[in-house]
Amino acid sequence: MRSHAALTRYRTMLLQSVGVTLGVTLGLTSVAAAQETFGLEEIMVTARKFSEALQDTPISITAFTATDLEKRGMSNISQIGDATPNMKFDATAPISGASNAAAIFIRGIGQTDFILTVDPGVGLYLDGVYISRSVGGVLDLLDLERVEVLRGPQGTLFGRNTIGGAINLTSKKPDGKFAGMGEVTMGSYNRIDARLSVNIPIIEDKFFARISASSKNRDGFGRRLLTDQKYGNQNTNSVRGAFRLLPSENIEINLSADYTRAREESPVTTLVWDRPLSEFGGGAITGLYNMFVAPVTGLPYDSRWLPHEKNTSYATGPTGSNLDVWGLSMTVDWDAGPVAVKSITAYRKVKADFGRDPDGSPVVLVQTSNVMDTEQFSQEFQFTGKAMNDRLTWLAGAYYFKETGSDDVTANIGWGIFEALGIPLSIHGPTIVDNRSYAAFLNLNYAITDKLNLSGGIRYSEDKKKATVNQYFTDLGILALANPVGKKNFDDVTPKVSLDYRWTGEFMTYASYAKGFKSGGFTGRYVVPTLEPRPFDPEKLTTYEVGFKSQFLDNHVRLNASAFYSDYKDIQVTIFNGVAPETRNAAKGRIKGAEVELTALPAEGLTVTGAIGYMDAKYTKFNPLDSVGLVLPLQITNKFVNTPKWSLNASAEYRFPLGEKAGDIALRADWNYHSKIAMDAVNTPELIQKGMSLINSRISYHSPNEMWEFALFVTNLTNERYFVGGVADIASFGLVEATWARPREWGASVKASF
């Protein structure tokens, strides 16, 4: 148990960091108080389903405008994780081999497994449409108006329950002005990217369209030494069409269609090993291979396969990550007088195939390939209105979600051993899911006085899940392992209450209490016979939060902060059981922490931002046995997955004129830091990413009429070599593999607007 002195030390560190932030703020803005010709842009958000200023919203939010995203050089949604306190967003899930598989964590809550039988812990929404699956969830930042990151449970406002938080992406709507932009970027690793967006008024004041497209291409930075094959590349094309119809003064219809196609190699994964070399490959299956097969093939599995060069591997097995994603949505807004009605109807489909060779050698110890095909349909209704002389604002909603899908997996485990023993070679078979979700939610905001507001909401959720786990030995062509069908219903009622008080026009405080719920599911991988898929229970979360939002010094400084305490039950963790990863419930944990975010204008043309995130997460109780009596390899002292104690970021941009008709130049630097991170639940030492900093820099020229922009940039300026995920299976195979982030890269871009 942590000592009182240690707890005091951590509290002191947090207070000192906040104090430094405040001190820098006051120092930087002493000049700004005398300036009145410029100020911070007001940021509007829709976190509570109606448009309001960020500073009026009693929720912990990090918001990015389209301009913010562009200045930071972000091109896909995963990159916002570097600029958001207490958030980690990886573009590839471990175990998958997929280059587009979102693994999102907010305040220590998320999910690393991409499998169809496990739900994500953070909700991802595109124009109000829930994105249900990890694969295909790393969305292109194509023609977006705004990105909002909401921390904590958000079930009383969003269609699908979101236990850890929500990422809300809002696209630009077509309007009545003909306009557009085109951009080309070139850089290292033969990078060639292109973007195009055109807004077209079709019928004046009635019908508008917006067409956007992007293409991203660059070579891989990893290499397979035996085949000289590059991997970790990018080859993705996206297109989106948005159509806006105004048939009458009180009806607005928005239609959208999007399509993404990727034909890439797998992410860069390599073996890592920090123990005595004699222990490498010391697992049970490895031992059998070395005993029965290696004497015949002359290829033992030992430390010779550990790479001696960065970003290299001796693997020769499956690689590749292909993806096709398309979606359709229709949103109808009808202002029916005292009640406004919104309908969101959406369909999305994902087809993907990807593979991996985690043993990192020409020896066929373990290889996996997946062919995934999923589709989802959702329908949401929202009813909003005001009452009691407009002091009460209310929202009631109903939500339906249907998902079907299959993940056809082929796993070659110990190939050669089983052949020598006369046993079939591969395990194969699709996991099939058929899920339904129903929900009703209500949220009320009541102005007790002109300064004091009370908000309360409640949600009922019911999930009906069915999973069929087909697994065969392919050479026999008959059911040899399992063909179980599991059906289970999960439901819960989750409330939320908050109170906010506006002390002045520029300072507001709030306190909230909320409960969150994430559905249970089934284990979707087996290597032993079973009568039914092993279920796991839902997660439940209770969060207490306090915070303030402030804007001062003549609108030159914005400083927001929040502190939270979360009681986390039945935590779903992914661990290896034998040779297969599966999800089980750890017992209980608690997470406490804080976020501080700053934006300041010290002088005209100079913008400074900064943020501090702090988390203290630990297991408070642990279930030593699972449902079949196997010991879970976790301990009370284990760190939560993807939960750094500290996450910090800062940026500075100075834009200065070259002359009245010469345009201007902007100089920008972005820095982010996180303390050490555990990449797996059992805290494998080789998968503890040490604390580290990243720096990006950018210089850009803007023409006088803002019609042209030229930019030069560098990402990962100090060329940090770090990993973003990993898998350890020491008992069975005696190996640890890590997935690596991209090294230092440079580029140049030119953008034209019309």
Give tens-digit pLDDT for 611-635: 999 999 999 987 765 544 455 677 8
pLDDT range class, residue 30, cuts 50, 70, 90: very low
Per-residue pLDDT, 419: 58
pLDDT at 366 over 60: yes
Best CA proximity match to 109, nearest among 676, 518, 562: 518
Task: Read off the tokens for 454.
Answer: 């009370």
Of 450-464, 683-697, 719-733, minimum mean pLDDT range: 719-733
pLDDT at 209 over 80: yes
In this prediction, residues 455-477 reach a mean pLDDT of: 83
Strands 123-126 and 109-110: unpaired
Question: How crowded is residue 222: how many other Cβ atoms within 10 Å of its Cβ?
Answer: 24
Q: What is the dihedral of CA 270, 272, 278, 284, to 10 degrees?
A: -70
pLDDT, average across residues 558-571: 97
- pLDDT on residue 21: 40
pLDDT confidence bin for 6, thresholds 50/70/90:
very low
Q: What is the rounded distance in angstroms from the CA atom of residue 254 to the CA atom of residue 163?
A: 29
Average the pLDDT over 502-506 and give the result: 96
Averaged pLDDT of the chain: 89
The mean-pLDDT minimum among 26-30, 52-56, 112-116, 219-223 falls in 26-30
Higher pLDDT, 606 or 622: 606
How many domains does the chain fold into? 1
- Tell me what pLDDT residue 579 has: 73
Residue 192 has pLDDT above 50, yes or no: yes
Average pLDDT estimate for 111-118: 93
> What whole-number distance in Å separates Cα of residue 752 and Cα of residue 181?
6
Q: Are the C-beta atoms of residues 513 and 496 closer than 8 Å to each other?
A: yes
Residue-level length of the chain = 754
| CATH, residue 542 | 2.40.170.20
- Residue 530: predicted pLDDT: 67
Q: How far apart are CA 543 and CA 55, in angstroms?
A: 21
Least confident of 209-213, 260-264, 317-321, 712-716: 317-321
SS (H, E, C) 345-401: EEEEEEEEEEEECCCCCCCCCEEEEEEEEEEEEEEEEEEEEEECCCCEEEEEEEEEE
Nearest residue to 81 (alpha-carbon basis) of 734, 699, 642: 642
Tally of CB atoms within 10 A around 473: 18
For residue 638, what are the domain limits? Answer: 4-753
Taking residues 151-170, report their average pLDDT: 90
Task: Compare 95 and 701 and report the one with higher pLDDT.
Answer: 701
CA-closest candidate to residue 628, choices 534, 523, 519:
534
Is 664:702 a contact under the CB 8 Å cutoff? yes
| pLDDT of 60 higher than 90 | yes
Summarised one tens digit per residue, pLDDT across range 711-735 is 999 999 999 999 999 999 898 889 9
Least confident of 483-487, 538-542, 611-615, 721-725: 483-487
Element (H, E) at 183: strand 179-187
The answer on pLDDT for 497 being more than 90 is: yes
Secondary structure (3-state) at 118: coil
> What is the per-residue pLDDT for 414?
67
Within a 10 A sphere around the Cβ of 394, how many other Cβ atoms? 17
Residue 23 has pLDDT above 50, yes or no: no
Taking the C-alpha atoms of residue 5 and residue 327, their distance in angstroms, rounded to an integer, is 54
Contact 185, 192 (CB under 8 A): yes
Partners of 208 in the β-ladder? 201, 244
Residue that the structure tokens 């929900």 belong to: 439
Cα separation of 717 and 707, whole Å?
29
- Cα 27 to Cα 32, 166, 207, 600, 686, distances in angstroms: 10, 34, 50, 11, 42
**Of 41-50, 334-343, 374-383, 690-699, the least confident:** 41-50
Per-residue pLDDT for 201 more than 60?
yes
Nearest to 101 by CA among 89, 85, 109: 89
Instruction: Kindly tell me if the per-residue pLDDT of 1 is higher than 60.
Output: no
Name the one residue in this structure whose structure tokens are 């087996």: 526
Name 110's Cβ contacts closer than 8 Å, sequence gap at least 6. Answer: 88, 103, 104, 120, 121, 122, 164, 641, 642
β-pair type (478-482, 485-504): unpaired
Percent of the chain scored above 70 by pLDDT?
Answer: 90
Instruction: Tell me how far apart the terminal alpha carbons of the chain are, to the nearest angstrom.
Output: 62
**DSSP code of residue 723:** E
Burial of 582 (0-12, 13-18, 19+ CB in 10 A): buried
Burial 694-716 (b: 16+ CB within 10 A, else e): bbbbbebbbeeeeeebebebbbb
Is residue 722 within 8 A of residue 675, CB to CB? The reply is no
Percent helix, strand and coil across the chain, each to the nearest 5: 10, 55, 35
Instruction: Measure the CA dihedral 378/403/213/245, to 10°.
Output: -20
Does the CA dihedral 567-78-354-351 come out positive or negative?
positive
Decide if pLDDT at 190 tops 50.
yes
Has residue 206 got a pLDDT over 90? yes
Query: Per-residue pLDDT for 581 more than 50?
Result: yes
The Cα 522–Cα 453 span in angstroms is: 42
* Token digits of residue 748: 């140049």
SS3 34: helix
Q: Is the pTM for the entire model greater than 0.75?
A: yes
Q: Is 147 in contact with 44 (CB distance < 8 Å)?
A: no
For residue 391, what are the contacts with CB-CB under 8 A and spacing of at least 6?
Answer: 446, 447
- The distance from CA 599 to its chain's CA centroid, rounded to whole angstroms, is 24
Nearest C-alpha neighbor of 344 from the set 135, 562, 125: 125
How far apart (Å, rounded) are the C-alpha atoms in residues 665 and 712?
11
What is the rounded distance in angstroms from the CA atom of residue 303 to the CA atom of residue 273?
Answer: 9
Which band of pLDDT confidence, cut at 50, 70 and 90, is reported for residue 364? Answer: confident
Give pLDDT tens digits for 268-300: 999 999 999 989 999 888 888 888 888 887 889
pLDDT score at 34: 36
Residue 31 confidence (pLDDT) above 50:
no
